[in-house]
Chain A
């Protein structure tokens, strides 16, 4: 079984982080490639074609943004960004540039493995493979454009529906404000984050048990939203 698990490229300059990640990932059967600088990371990604990249934002020779940009020039490999608090701007920039998700230091092994699974699943899935998606007692039927909660149909406005679908298609992954705005309102609305917040509040009212303590439509403060999967 373990041979089937994918190859992960870790780009991280701090030895103790590498040690922790190596121990965790190898014990779960992932194959590991390790790079300590941005240049080395890009070279190894080109050479070995890994199936996932774990990328630290603070590297000695170039920042993670640059690595994301270069990787995206030739590869659609899922990229998980590892960042520290206070790097919100860089984090959002990396995500907008094509990184798939992020992990904020310090993080636990469980969280890391869950994020990796989501990213790998999205990469493996063909675009319109899934047509019906369920979370909690909510069922989203994409072909019929129908949303039900506890078996009863919920009426959503066209924009609410579009927003929900965008989150559903990226289930488990963080989607940045900019990505959501562009997807739902079009390219001109990229700075009107309050539209988005108002519609998210409406979606929570309609789909969550307690809109003040959402279980599924989670907020990633300063970054975007995530539909919690699993």
Chain B
């Protein structure tokens, strides 16, 4: 027989759990049955011992309840100052989480794990604080009484008659690495109480009367011992598991608990949790929504509470939609191999079951081999009976339409009367009821049913025109008519509601699909934010706010355009917390619930991208089951798109970096060569003029012209270098103004009149060309560079043509020449910086002119290309988008 061995999956899970535990600091709980058993004392004793071993033990908060022995033990331990929080006119002392995070001791003592924090603290519960401490790597020792455990809450209430308000999810205890039971026999505890060692004497007297009865203490002690035993059992099991000892592994049980809005559902959930813990089974809390019975908002909130409770206790949470609760429950249970179903015992009178059917009965009958547990909840104060949401009152229009429909049925029946049997006429009315039901809802169709019976009786059943009936047979006809009418209206109503639910689901799916499609197309952050804003805001009826981390500093920034709502100081700190902890927080959550909005982290496993703030018009909607998951699904889509864009940006910026280096090298060579050449010519000419005064007039003029021309060239070069630098540094923002192309062409031809003197210029601009939204000065530079280039590289006497075509979307401008054309293969590279077409003509350009053209046109959102034209020569083509239109000048009479 092969040795039983841990299977690889289990081993992996164990390793992962251990790894997580190693990263996470240890949690040690001093666990007791009741106040006064000495938990804090035990904790402090252990702390003193640890301190003598050289560990850095710090007291975060310890409640000594003025007990002298306990206070004595505090001596010599570092204590964090408490935080003073104003609350309802008082100042309360509270544990200072931030101080603890800053101090970072080896071990931190935080008393009373189940404590509820003063409103205004970061977390609502102290155990949330502890989780954050553990996550940041600080070992925490704390104390806990058994009555605070969530799953035992109702048992404790049954035993002691006292409902404990401050509860703690069992997960907190399960998370503990070490649980130390602090035990004291009840009699000893009562003695301590009597001696005033627990509370001050008068308080002690009150206490012994209520909670501290001997019976209570015995029961609590038993609970605490049993819970600790379970915990030990789990440790043993984990150990056996680790060693591959499978033998006692029970058959996989799966428990399903049906949850509704009634208060006893909470007890059901706790019972199911205990059962699941006892059986070591997984368990699921299931709620079924029936579309036509939409619960009232209070009931909805209660249901959500119960589902959240289940989730906290470790259940899987499922919400289904269907017409029959029992059918949905059974179908799901079968599909998921549920072995036990936990339901509430009915509390309503028996007649309701007879009339409307009983959920328990239906489930029991249909359950087959699934075990059913019917459990009674505590006789908790029943607030209001579960209410249905009030149906909207039927409109007068609907009721009138129903009456008219039945009136027309009466008309038709009158025509048929005498030709068919009287009872057949009822069919005409049924048709009418169906028509009304499909169009106008339940109230109208019920009215139609009643009116039909009445009209039929009054008009066609002898004696005519009275409601009296002579033939008893007609009573049956009436009953059938009415019942059929009611059934039809009920069925139709149900179909309508299902249709509405389906449409809602479809709308969500469509919105999600729409968002993902638009995100796939988005190329930059503003587009992503725009798409997200539209889709998410409409689906959740909320205002949105995006905060994006700056890639280099990691600081949160609000990207333009400004968002729907403003971020105040508090919200900003919540957003920062969300980003840091990668957890959602704020409105409708347990963490920092005082914020105005809900904040979701936008993060991938290796990058924090930002935070999404959601300010719903109605916060209750975000609490509905499924809504938050849906919101997170949307957020996940946004994260994907943002991560993609950021990667692209990174790649782009590293390319830009490399290009910048290359540019610097080219720039140096240009400066050294191209600046010196004209300077040499100027210096040479000037010194010649100075040193030899005997030149004839023609030579003097020649030398002077050289000086002027070379100075011009130097000026152009410097201008180009400056322009290029400005373009490169990204500091060039086009100052757009609506301008006729003709004006820019005119100005650039004017400036270049000297350079163009040997060329024929043809300008062909259509009269209906739209105004261009361009920076006039920069665009004049574009045309001047193109014209200058054409003049430089084409032989004298050849024409240069400027033409344009365009519509309201874009304008294409072409500058064409009849020169030698572009060297083959240089069409694309010609716009690169410092690219010079190899030519034998000895013409020296700077290699910057066309690069500047490219830079300026790109800054305008346009494109530029060059090609050789048929019949010889080159064409440079600029394509500029025209977005919007300028306001028309006011009309004037001609």
Contact = CB atoms under 8 A, between A and B. Distances in A.
Contact of A158 (B761, B889, B892): B892
B724 to A, nearest CB: 13
Interface string A187-216: 000001111011111001000001111100
A219 B889 contact: no
B747 interface: yes
Contact of A212 (B737, B742, B780): B742
Nearest to B737: A193
Contact of A213 (B740, B749, B771, B893): B749
B892 A201 contact: no
Interface string B867-893: 000000000000000000011010011
A213 B894 contact: no
A77 B740 CA distance: 36
B813 to A, nearest CB: 13
Contact of A221 (B742, B763, B780): B780
B711 interface: yes
B892 A219 contact: no
A17 interface: no
Contacts of B761: 213
Given A106-B711, A193-B737, A221 B747 contact: yes
Nearest to A105: B715
Contact of B746 (A88, A198, A212, A222): A212
A194 B740 CA distance: 8
A200 B739 CA distance: 11
A90 to B, nearest CB: 14
Contacts of B711: 106
Contact of B886 (A194, A199, A218): A194
B742 A201 contact: yes
A125 interface: no
B374 interface: no
A200 B743 CA distance: 9
Nearest to B765: A212
A196 B786 CA distance: 27
Q: Output the residue of A155, A199, A200, A221 with the most chain B CB within 10 A.
A: A221
Nearest to B747: A219
Contacts of B740: 197-198, 201
Contact of A211 (B708, B742, B747, B893): B742
A106 to B, nearest CB: 6
A62 interface: no
A85 interface: yes
B738 interface: yes
Contacts of B858: none
A157 interface: yes
A159 interface: yes
B666 interface: no
A86 interface: yes
A83 to B, nearest CB: 13
A131 B546 CA distance: 65
B719 A194 contact: no
Interface in A118-160: 155, 157-159
Nearest to B763: A212
B777 A221 contact: yes
Contacts of B747: 218-221
Contacts of B743: 197, 200-201, 219
B451 interface: no
B750 interface: yes
Contact of B777 (A88, A210, A212, A218): A88
Contacts of B738: 193-194, 197
B776 A199 contact: no
Contacts of A157: 892-894
Interface string A146-176: 0000000001011100000000000000000
Q: Output the residue of B746, B747, B894 with the most chain A CB within 10 A.
A: B746
Nearest to A225: B743
A187 B711 CA distance: 43
Contacts, number: 73
B745 interface: yes
A158 B737 CA distance: 25
Interface in A35-76: none
Interface string B741-761: 011111101100000000001
Nearest to B784: A221
Nearest to A219: B747
B859 to A, nearest CB: 16
B391 to A, nearest CB: 58
B15 interface: no
A213 B750 contact: yes
A177 to B, nearest CB: 9
Contacts of A193: 737-738
A213 B780 CA distance: 14
Interface string A86-126: 10100000000000000000101000000000000000000
Nearest to A217: B746
A219 B746 contact: yes
B808 interface: no
Given A197-B740, A221-B776, A212 B749 contact: yes
B782 to A, nearest CB: 12
Given A85-B719, A214-B746, A219-B747, A198 B771 contact: yes
A211 B744 CA distance: 11
B722 interface: yes
Q: Output the residue of A106, A157, A212 with the most chain B CB within 10 A.
A: A212
Contacts of A86: 722
Nearest to B742: A212
Nearest to A218: B750
A179 B894 CA distance: 24
A181 B743 CA distance: 17
A108 B711 CA distance: 11
B742 A106 contact: no
Contact of A159 (B750, B771, B776, B892): B892
B771 A212 contact: no
Contacts of B894: 155, 157
A211 B746 contact: yes
Contact of A194 (B737, B744, B749, B765): B737
A201 B741 CA distance: 10
Contacts of A210: 763
Contact of B889 (A108, A195, A204): A195
Nearest to B775: A222
Given A212-B742, A218-B750, 9 more contacts: A193-B738, A194-B738, A194-B886, A197-B740, A198-B889, A199-B889, A204-B742, A219-B743, A219-B744
25 contacts: A85-B722, A88-B777, A108-B708, A157-B892, A157-B893, A158-B892, A158-B893, A193-B737, A193-B738, A194-B738, A194-B739, A194-B771, A197-B738, A197-B771, A200-B743, A201-B742, A212-B742, A212-B746, A212-B749, A212-B802, A214-B750, A218-B747, A219-B743, A219-B744, A219-B746
Minimum-distance CB pairs A-B, first 3: A194-B738, A212-B763, A219-B747
